[in-house]
């Protein structure tokens, strides 16, 4: 594990600066933040960094990842890159994340030489602006005395990504609501103009709260207990350049939950309404308490 400082953005950038130990082999670490397992967005982001370090002059346009086993935050993660294809326009990489001799994540990413072509996009929803909303930090401060003890350290830690939910959900005893949510997000500091780093940070942030969307119609969340929850797979498409130092609107919906799984979709817009990325994730939502079972 790596020690954290008072600058969570610098900590995250350092976390993503994984160590090359062979031509196609890299080593990453996890922060000492009280988590019992590695945050999925961290493994996706580090795997994308590993892939990027074997690619030149091309930009990632899509990634597809499967979470296979929970990550252990107490030991390093090895990232092995397979240089699947180097074409004239597209490059494909496959990355395997390994701990204790076993795979914890598989990721495939595709990179493209920048090109021009047809353009269209869906419209951004009309929602409240960041200045009108409370931050998640403020909302957490209001709820901190009611959070189970095992979540306290994780709950209170400073985060590198600032979040502002548009329609905040109660953290304790949430009501049953429609499976849709919107939140604004941005990095809490300067990142610079490196496209690869910008994408890796957004990949990290894209795993924040998306699985929670599918739980909304059922009145459960991470704190209610009685439900086993985990990300199963995660896909992401990058459409346009963006600056994660500026506010981005992350809209999410869940069209289906079945078979103890919840499926979620997301779109990321700039404050001016440009669609910059799309996300899809399926997660485990397994009722363990009889009160949640049909």
166-194 confidence digits (pLDDT tens): 999 877 778 999 999 999 999 999 999 99
Q: Mean pLDDT, to the nearest integer, of 76-102?
A: 98
Q: Which residue has the higher pLDDT, 294 or 151?
A: 151
Q: Which residue has the higher pLDDT, 287 or 264?
A: 264
Residue 55: inside a domain: yes
Same domain flag for 171 and 272: yes
Helix count (H) and strand count (E) of the chain?
A: 6, 12
Same domain flag for 166 and 33: no
Residue 124: inside a domain: no
Q: Which residue has the higher pLDDT, 35 or 30?
A: 30
Please write the tens of the pLDDT for every residue from 228-282.
Answer: 999 999 999 999 999 999 999 999 999 999 999 999 999 999 999 999 999 999 9
Residue 53: inside a domain: yes
Q: Which residue has the higher pLDDT, 2 or 16?
A: 16
Q: How confident is the model at residue 288 (pLDDT cuts 50, 70, 90)?
A: confident
Q: Mean pLDDT, to the nearest integer, of 201-211?
A: 96
Decide: helix, strand or coil at residue 254.
strand
Domain count along the chain: 2
pLDDT at 224 over 90: no
Same domain flag for 162 and 250: yes
pLDDT at 221: 82
- Name residues whose C-beta falls within 8 Å of residue 3's C-beta, 6 or more positions apart in sequence: 31, 32
Q: Compute the mean pLDDT over every residue in the chain, rounded to the nearest whole number.
A: 92
Q: What span, in angstroms and rounded, lies between the C-alpha atoms of 55 and 50?
A: 9
Nearest C-alpha neighbor of 197 from the set 60, 74, 91, 294: 60
Cα angle, residue 36 at apex, residues 32 and 16 outer, rounded to 5°: 45
Q: To the nearest whole percent, how much of the chain has pLDDT over 70?
A: 92
Tokens 């209610």 belong to residue: 224
Same domain flag for 196 and 248: yes
227-238/90-99 β-pairing: unpaired
pTM above 0.95, yes or no: no
Same domain flag for 104 and 227: no
Indicate which CATH number applies to the domain containing 163.
Answer: 3.10.129.10
Q: Is 17 exposed, middle or buried (0-12, 13-18, 19+ CB in 10 A)?
A: exposed
Per-position DSSP letters for 227-243, written without gaps between them:
EEEEEEEEEEEE-S---
Please write the tens of the pLDDT for every residue from 108-164.
Answer: 999 999 999 999 999 999 999 999 999 988 887 776 666 666 666 666 677 899 999
Residue 236: inside a domain: yes
Q: Looking at the chain, how many residues does it have?
A: 294
User: Which segments of the chain does DSSP mark as H helices, in order?
Assistant: 8-16, 40-52, 136-143, 152-156, 195-205, 210-215
Same domain flag for 147 and 74: no
Catalytic residue IDs:
207, 231, 281
Q: To the nearest whole percent, how much of the chain has pLDDT over 90?
A: 79
Range of the domain at 204: 132-294
- Name residues whose C-beta falls within 8 Å of residue 4's C-beta, 6 or more positions apart in sequence: 11, 31, 32, 33, 157, 158
Do the Cβ atoms of 193 and 237 come closer than 8 Å? Answer: no
pLDDT at 3: 60
What separation in angstroms does the CA of 226 have from each of 119, 196, 215, 222? 45, 39, 12, 9
Same domain flag for 265 and 151: yes
Same domain flag for 204 and 251: yes
Residue 162 in tokens: 């600032």
pLDDT at 21: 98
Same domain flag for 68 and 162: no
Q: How confident is the model at residue 223 (pLDDT cuts 50, 70, 90)?
A: confident
Residue 172: inside a domain: yes
pLDDT at 173: 78
pLDDT at 107 over 70: yes
Q: What span, in angstroms and rounded, lies between the C-alpha atoms of 106 and 228?
A: 22
Same domain flag for 82 and 28: yes
Decide: helix, strand or coil at residue 35.
coil
Per-position DSSP letters for 164-189, written without gaps between them:
EESSPPPSSSPPP--SEEEEEEEESS
Tokens 């496959």 belong to residue: 94
Same domain flag for 247 and 145: yes
Q: What span, in angstroms and rounded, lies between the C-alpha atoms of 63 and 279?
A: 10
């Amino acid at each position: 594990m790596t020690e954290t400082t008072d600058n969570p953005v610098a900590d995250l950038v350092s976390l993503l600066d994984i160590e090359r130990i062979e031509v196609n082999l890299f080593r990453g670490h996890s922060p000492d933040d009280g988590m019992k397992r590695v945050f999925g967005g961290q493994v996706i982001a580090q795997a994308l960094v590993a892939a990027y370090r074997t690619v030149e002059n091309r930009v990632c346009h899509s990634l597809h990842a499967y979470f296979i086993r929970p990550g252990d935050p107490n030991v390093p993660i090895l990232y092995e890159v397979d240089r699947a294809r180097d074409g004239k326009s597209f490059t494909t990489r496959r990355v395997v994340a390994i701990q204790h001799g076993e795979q914890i994540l598989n990721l495939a990413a595709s990179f493209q030489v920048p090109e021009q072509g047809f353009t269209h996009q869906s419209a951004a929803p009309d929602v409240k602006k960041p200045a009108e909303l409370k931050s998640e930090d403020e909302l957490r401060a209001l709820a901190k005395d009611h959070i189970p003890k095992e979540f306290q350290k994780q709950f209170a830690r400073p985060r590198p990504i600032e979040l502002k939910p548009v329609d905040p959900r109660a953290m304790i005893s949430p009501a049953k609501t429609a499976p849709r949510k919107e939140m604004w997000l941005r990095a809490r500091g300067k990142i610079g103009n490196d496209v690869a780093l910008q994408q890796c940070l957004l990949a990290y942030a894209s795993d924040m709260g998306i699985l929670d969307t599918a739980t909304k119609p059922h009145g459960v969340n991470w704190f209610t207990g009685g439900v086993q929850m985990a990300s199963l797979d995660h896909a992401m498409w990058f459409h346009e350049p963006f600056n994660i130092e500026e506010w981005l609107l992350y809209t999410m919906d869940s069209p289906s939950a079945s078979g103890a799984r919840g499926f979620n979709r997301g779109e990321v817009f700039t404050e001016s309404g440009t669609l910059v990325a799309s996300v899809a994730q399926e997660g485990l939502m397994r009722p363990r308490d009889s009160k949640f079972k049909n």
